[in-house]
Structure 1
């Protein structure tokens, strides 16, 4: 399809503002804020959007670090949804440097961007502003919505936004993610989308410890020399061990699925002999289907009840997320693929290659003429990517891995695509340490090509959707067919979110104390 003047304007806009995009990406990278605690990142986005003429709802859907921005041109017209993610991951604090070191003033235990969402969000923002500029210049009617999506790493905000109606009424949603697994690199997903994800926190509470070892009617017992009664920590450990022991039996040995756990802490350190009164463990499961997730939830519930009874506790289950498996829309995917073919893959200049070679040298390798993975600088045909992805899946498995963009796909036609992030090649059998990928996601010379390329694809495809009624009609027809009649249709899956945003737990964060700004997890370096 011939490129329109509006699309050409948007691409030029991104090139003109490339330095700003680079600075914005570095800003969010340096914040490194983790799930549900992205205060400075959200504040930055809200201010930037308002400065550029958007109306913004802060704290959307009851999530303090979420937002929903809106702008309309000439009234009426089609509507397009884009979004930003900006959460980082605890324990991955890495400077934008060619050696392993945390960002200044922090420990390696602090938050850091791994995917990186710092570039994901600014690519979306760059595209948004380019589309807006093109709409104004060329008089294109329509509405742009841009949501701030915190806590993606725990599948946090999108199921909640979906349940609260923030994606309703959109003609299309474009979902970009940095490449993170082959063959999904410089391509778009077709049929096999991400699956369901459930996550919950089991909280064990010891209101009154068992009176083991105490004599009836005795005065104050010798508590400090008696064996301590079991409490919340004991219940948590029994939950942890029993669930791990049963993991292989929870689901069939077929299809990709995973169950991960994390023990939350609440600062209850004590040298006394009293049993812990509170302990929490979080589970995250990634399943192809909702039915599999429900089956595992039932097992975990039974384990929690048994552990609590043995330790003289009670338990509570609090949802972190319940997200649906993805709904494909090949018509919209092919529209985006046309834009990817027009824009092309990222291109890394010699300056970026020199930086990559320095990292290779610091990892004990012989620097390569072309240090980047070959697939980063190639386009992958979506049909070929689909075939490769399905090689490792049983024929009956329709979804693979998980991501919460899937909740958007049930509220409006959605296309999911991937643009290469800088990834290094290496000798057979060699595996780079995690800090390398994290650093490459923060060094401007290496991450900027991904950001600008993704922004151009988003802008190019977004304007195609706004200007091409036939493309919108095809995407909507497929959405209605797959859902059996659109939202509320016979095959439509309603939002699973029946819980409040889980913002009140002890999620890792930065804290201000008399000692200054610090990370809440103790560091061995201090």
Structure 2
């Protein structure tokens, strides 16, 4: 479909804003803030959006680092369709990498600090670039409609979107556009068609040993000294038992098909001491990625039993606190087709001589011979959604409807949602060289010459798609009609999956973060050690 004048102007706006988008992306990359602790990143987005004329609710959904920004072009009369976009900006602990061609943490930090892996720094600025280009074209061409832009913290623990969904932030939208940097083939410069991401549950099991004296003999300790008395093993032992028993039972928790995963992270309680008292608190977080809700409920039941057994044996009590309960995604062919047409019109990203030189420098620093064409060919090619779907389905059971995990899926139950991918820079591996270390992709996500092509391309696709939906009632109605058909009538319909979120935002746990002390600003586990 030929581009409208408004769509062409939006593309030109992104190109004109390229230097600003590059600077903004580098800034969020350097913040490197992790889940539920993205204070600087969220504040920057709020300030920027307000300066652009958006009305911004800070702390949306009860989440301190979330926001919801709205803007309307109330011209003319008739429908006021509102298109949704969003930013993510959380980084990942243990992935601190500078924007350079060799392995190095960002200045003043150690490798255990936060760093962008996907990278959400580029994801969020792509969304912002597309949003502002759409707004500019709407004003210039008198296009009636609105824009909603949500700030989505803690995506790495599937944090904000189930909460925003349950509190109605996606209700009433004409459509939602969801972009993610390419992270696995064939999901590169394409749009998801049928097989959307699956369900995800995450929870923290907390073990508390607040009455260790009650675990021993009823008549009391044989030696009347507190440090020598019979006492409970304590919370650390409970955590170890939980960790080990769940590892052993992992293959019994789910059917042996469908693709699923369970991962865990031990949250540090900071109980460093030379005393011999039993630990009073220990926490372990689990994340489950599965195709169906029935599977995730089965795993939860097993984990609950393991927690109860571990607590009984160690003189503890246990609690389960939800981090996320995310629904499997809902397909929508109509809006996927609209975004695919936009992606074809914009084209795939391209990397110029400067980016190629950077890639070659990385290869040299790894002891590899630099390649004339170092980037994966797929990064600069489009792949038809039907072809991508066929490749994705090749290794999946026919009955499986969802695969992998991402919490954008909660949006799909509230409005027609398109999920598309644009290539981030990825390098070819020379024959026999094996995989690149993780720092390579992390670094290229922060180097402007390598990440900017993705940001600009994604922003253009977002703007062209949004304007198509705003200007073309037929395309907009087709997406909404399919949404209502698949849900049995829309929100609340007979085939609708209601929000699963029945918990408060889990912001009060000991999530990794940056801290400021008399020693200065550092990662919460000090990394600026002499000789480090």
Residue of structure 2 aligned with 1:483, choices 469, 474, 487 = 487
Question: In structure 2, what is the Cα distance between the partners aligned to 1:466 and 1:482?
Answer: 22
Indicate the residue corresponding to 2:507 in structure 1: 503
Aligned residue number for residue 133 of structure 2: 130
Partner of 1:249: 252
Q: How does 1:419-498 map to 2 (within 5 A)?
A: 419-429=422-432, 430-498=434-502
- Measured after TM superposition, the shift of residue 226 of structure 1 is 6.1
Could you tell me which residue of structure 1 aligns to residue 171 of structure 2?
Answer: 168
What is aligned with 1:3? 3
1:350, 1:413 → 2: CA distance? 39
Give the Cα separation in 1 of the matches to 2:349 and 2:218.
Answer: 74
- Tell me the residue number matched to 1:374: 377
| Aligned-residue offset at 1:224 | 4.0
> How far apart, in 2, do the equivalents of 1:150 and 1:53 lie?
22
* Deviations 1:80-132, CA, capped at 9 Å, x for gaps: 00000000000000000000000000000000000000000000001101100
TM-align CA RMSD: 1.4
Q: Which runs of 5+ in 2 are unaligned?
A: none
- Stretch of structure 1 that moved more, 29-38 or 515-524: 515-524
Match of 2:406 in 1: 403
Render the CA deviation track for 1:160-196: whole Å, top value 9, x for unaligned: 0000000000000000000000000000000000000
Secondary structure of the corresponding residue to residue 89 of structure 1: coil
Instruction: Select the residue among 87, 99, 104 that pairs with 1:101.
Output: 104
- Distance in 2 of aligned mates of 1:505 and 1:225: 32
The equivalent of 2:68 in structure 1 is: 68
What TM-score do you get using the length of structure 1 for normalisation? Answer: 0.98
Asked if 2 retains the 8 angstrom alpha-carbon contact of 1:223 and 1:273, the reply is no
Task: Indicate the SS of the match to 2:407.
Answer: coil
Residues 137-156 of structure 1 correspond to what in structure 2 (within 5 A)?
137-156=140-159
Unaligned runs of 5+ in 1: none
Deviation at 1:77, TM superposition (A): 1.8
Deviates more, 1:101-110 or 1:359-368: 359-368
Equivalents in 2 of 1:500, 1:147: separation in Å?
Answer: 19
Q: Secondary structure of the equivalent of 2:41?
A: helix
Q: Does 1:234 align with 2:237?
A: yes
CA distance in 2, matches of 1:483, 1:399: 16
Query: How far did residue 266 of structure 1 move?
Result: 1.5
Structure 2: how far apart are the matches of 1:521 and 1:382?
A: 44
- Equivalent runs, 1:277-426 vs 2, <5 Å: 277-426=280-429
CA deviation map 1:441-490 (0-9, x unaligned) = 00000000000000000000110000000000110111011101111111
Tell me the CA shift for residue 428 of structure 1: 3.7
8 Å Cα contact 1:198-1:293 kept in structure 2: yes
Secondary structure class of the residue paired with 1:64? coil
Aligned length: 526
Q: CA–CA distance in 2 between the matches of 1:139 and 1:472?
A: 18
- TM (norm. structure 2) is 0.97
**Quick one: distance in 1 between partners of 2:444 and 2:229?**
55
**Partners in 1 of 2:248 and 2:221 — Cα distance?**
41
* Counterpart Cα distance in 1 of 2:215 and 2:449: 64
